[in-house]
Chains A and B, each alone.
Chain A
Amino acid sequence: MLESPAFLLVIGTLLGFLSGIGIGGGSLLILWLTVVLSVPYPVARGINLLFFLPSALIACLFRWKQGALEWKTVLPGILAGCAAAGVFSWVGMVLDLAILQKLFGILLILTGLRELLYRP
């Protein structure tokens, strides 16, 4: 039941909605895949990156049309981010998986604490 396409669609919609309103949908999807469905971490990483694309594209279009997004302002972030992503995607693949998962655990704890201490 947990792996039926209809159920996965519901989970994807729920997490896509949470991502769309700015709450850690990506972290939750990786947790869902690795802890509940026992999907290997490298596969979960790929699924999570793909998962982000549709909701992010839609969110960008919505907010750009509303005038909340200025591409010229975010360009330095995009350039530096893409360069760093290229280097660290490679690092993430050659790094020992156990170490990578421990580091991800630390990131999750920091994310969880940030969400718990959230002030609107």
Chain B
Amino acid sequence: MHRNQWFAMAFAGGLAGMINGLFGAGGGMVLVPLLTLLTPLKENVFPASVAIILPICLVSLTFIAFTEGLPYRSALPYLLGSALGGILAGVWGRKIPVHWLHRGLGILILWGGIRYLC
């Protein structure tokens, strides 16, 4: 791998680790645009981003497990749904036109952000 690309990948991963470590979410929000901008991955940016965030989440979870304890019981229904949703996305994800979904969810997330600030 080219040296610049190595640093770009490490920079993007480091920033995603910082955001995800702080908030427990949002790593993909910085990682996907940074990898698109700084690396030649193109259509493989999304799988690369998931592969980077997965171990980042494991580190944060290990930290939480040793300090606050993991909320396994509360998370269980969401975990099952996450697995099911992941399979559905793997099978049908590429066939769905997601353009309009981005807009709708953008409004929802924006509203959530304003609620957190006010």
Q: Give A81 to B51 CA distance when docked, in angstroms.
A: 11
Hey, what's the 0/1 contact readout for A92-118 against B, CB within 8 Å counting as 1? 110100001111111111111111111
Does A21 sit within 8 A of B, measured CB to CB? yes
Contact for B117 among A28, A89, A102, A117, CB less than 8 A:
A102
Q: Give A35 to B27 CA distance when docked, in angstroms.
A: 21
The answer to whether B21 and A22 have CB atoms under 8 Å apart is: no
A95: min CB distance to chain B, Å: 8
A34: min CB distance to chain B, Å: 8
Closest to A105 in B: B116
Contact for B106 among A9, A69, A84, A113, CB less than 8 A:
A113
**Chain B residues closer than 8 Å to A80, beta-carbon distance:** 9-11, 13-14, 17
In this complex, the interface size class of chain A, counting residues with CB under 8 Å from chain B, is 35 or more
- Interface majority SS on A: helix, strand, loop or mixed? helix
Q: Give A23 to B85 CA distance when docked, in angstroms.
A: 12
The answer to whether B81 and A21 have CB atoms under 8 Å apart is: no
B111: min CB distance to chain A, Å: 8
The answer to whether B78 and A107 have CB atoms under 8 Å apart is: no
Closest to B95 in A: A21
The answer to whether B44 and A89 have CB atoms under 8 Å apart is: no
**Chain B residues closer than 8 Å to A17, beta-carbon distance:** 85-86, 88-89, 93
Q: Give A108 to B46 CA distance when docked, in angstroms.
A: 20
The answer to whether B107 and A116 have CB atoms under 8 Å apart is: yes
**Chain A residues closer than 8 Å to B116, beta-carbon distance:** 101-102, 104-105, 108
With A15-B81, A111-B106, A115-B103 given, name 12 new contacts (CB 8 A).
Answer: A16-B84, A28-B109, A63-B44, A63-B46, A77-B52, A80-B14, A87-B18, A88-B17, A92-B23, A104-B116, A105-B117, A106-B117
User: Top 9 closest A-B pairs, CB basis?
Assistant: A12-B81, A16-B85, A20-B89, A77-B13, A105-B116, A112-B110, A115-B106, A45-B24, A108-B113
11 A-B residue pairs with CB within 8 Å: A11-B81, A13-B84, A54-B79, A59-B50, A60-B50, A74-B13, A77-B9, A78-B51, A84-B17, A87-B21, A112-B108
